[in-house]
Each structure stands twice: as C-alpha cells, then as structure tokens.
Amino acid sequence: MDAKRNQYRRDYYVDGTAARQLKVMPEPVRQEEVVAQPRIVKKVTPKLSHGIDLFSMTLLLAAMAIALYLCYDYLQVQGNIVQLKRDIMNLGSTYDTLASENAALEESLNTQLNWDQVYLTAVNELGMVYPNKNEVVTYTSGERGYVIQYRSIPE
C-alpha cells in the first residue's frame, strides 16, 4: 500500500510551474479515418486605407494653421519689441543732446546777465522794495509739493 501511495503522489505532484500530465502522448490518428474536407476560402477584398481619416486630417491641418499663426504673431511682437528698443535708444540720445544744449544755453544766459544791474533796475526804475517781516506769509502745503492756487490760504 505504501508503494501505491508513492505512485499516486508521483502522478499528481506539481514540479515547478507545470503540472505533470497523465497522458503523455496523444492517441495516434489513423489515416483512413481522416477525411479531407474541402477548404472554403472567402474572397477578401483589401480595404483601401489611406492611413488617416478626414476628421483627423482636418484636425491636424487646423492645429498646424493655429501653430503657424502663433509663430507669425510671436515674430511680429518680437519685431515690434526690437523696434521699440531702437526708438527708445534714439530718443535717449536725442534727450541727452537736448539736455546738454539746454545746459549750455542756460550757462550762457547766466554769464550774460548782470545780477547787480537787474537789482538796480528793479529797485530804481520799477520801484520794487523788499517786504517787511509782517508782510511775508509762509504756507506749508503738507503732502503735496506744490500749492494749488484756487484754494484759500489759511490765516
């Protein structure tokens, strides 16, 4: 009985991942029993496939058109930025030129004016005098750096 038990265990023992089969070889097929059946071949017409359908092609063309438009618009904006930078540089050089001319003209005016002559003319010919201390009113504007003239000055 012990031999039968070992025999039984050997037949159904799983070795690794493949279980042993009880029938090792299939039964032989006799040649005379096999009857050749005619093969039925269906005629299959090959389907013409262009690889992409109309919707996908339209979507692809629309995406390409949008991408090209965005690239063109980007290049236009870049060109505008470059032109504005050039204009800023030109205006900066023009400003520097005008500022130096203005400083030179102001200096020439200051050298031409005789402040003593201006004082004498203002006092003698025009009758101007220095104000007394009680005639001078000081006013502090507060937050602003200038005085708005249409407001009344507080006492």
Q: What integer is the mean pLDDT of 119-124?
A: 90
Report if residue 150 sits inside a domain: no
pLDDT tens digit sequence for 69-115: 999 999 999 999 999 999 999 999 999 999 999 999 999 988 888 88
pLDDT tens digit sequence for 27-80: 666 666 555 677 777 777 766 665 788 898 999 999 999 999 999 999 999 999
The answer to whether 138 and 155 are in contact (CB under 8 A) is no
Q: What is the pLDDT of residue 54?
A: 87
**Bigger pLDDT: 138 vs 4:** 138
In degrees, rounded to 5, the angle at the alpha carbon of residue 127 between the alpha carbons of residues 124 and 129 is 100
Report if residue 106 sits inside a domain: yes
Q: What integer is the mean pLDDT of 122-141?
A: 84
Report if residue 104 sits inside a domain: yes
Report if residue 92 sits inside a domain: yes
The answer to whether 11 and 20 are in contact (CB under 8 A) is yes
Report if residue 148 sits inside a domain: no
Number of domains present in the structure of the chain:
1
Report if residue 16 sits inside a domain: no
Enter the tokens of residue 132.
């007394």
Q: What is the pLDDT of residue 4?
A: 53
Dihedral, 84, 90, 94, 97 alpha carbons, nearest 10: 140
**Bigger pLDDT: 148 vs 129:** 129
Report if residue 12 sits inside a domain: no
pLDDT band at 148 (very low <50, low <70, confident <90, very high): low
Collapsing DSSP to helix, strand or coil, 73 comes out as helix
Q: Which domain holds residue 79?
A: 59-128
Rg (CA), the chain: 54
Distance of alpha carbon 114 from alpha carbon 127, whole angstroms = 19
Enter the tokens of residue 144.
């602003």
In degrees, rounded to 5, the angle at the alpha carbon of residue 57 between the alpha carbons of residues 51 and 61 is 140
Report if residue 93 sits inside a domain: yes
The answer to whether 122 and 128 are in contact (CB under 8 A) is yes
Quick one: how far is CA 113 from the chain centroid?
59
pLDDT band at 16 (very low <50, low <70, confident <90, very high): low
Distance of alpha carbon 67 from alpha carbon 73, whole angstroms = 10
Q: What is the pLDDT of residue 53?
A: 86
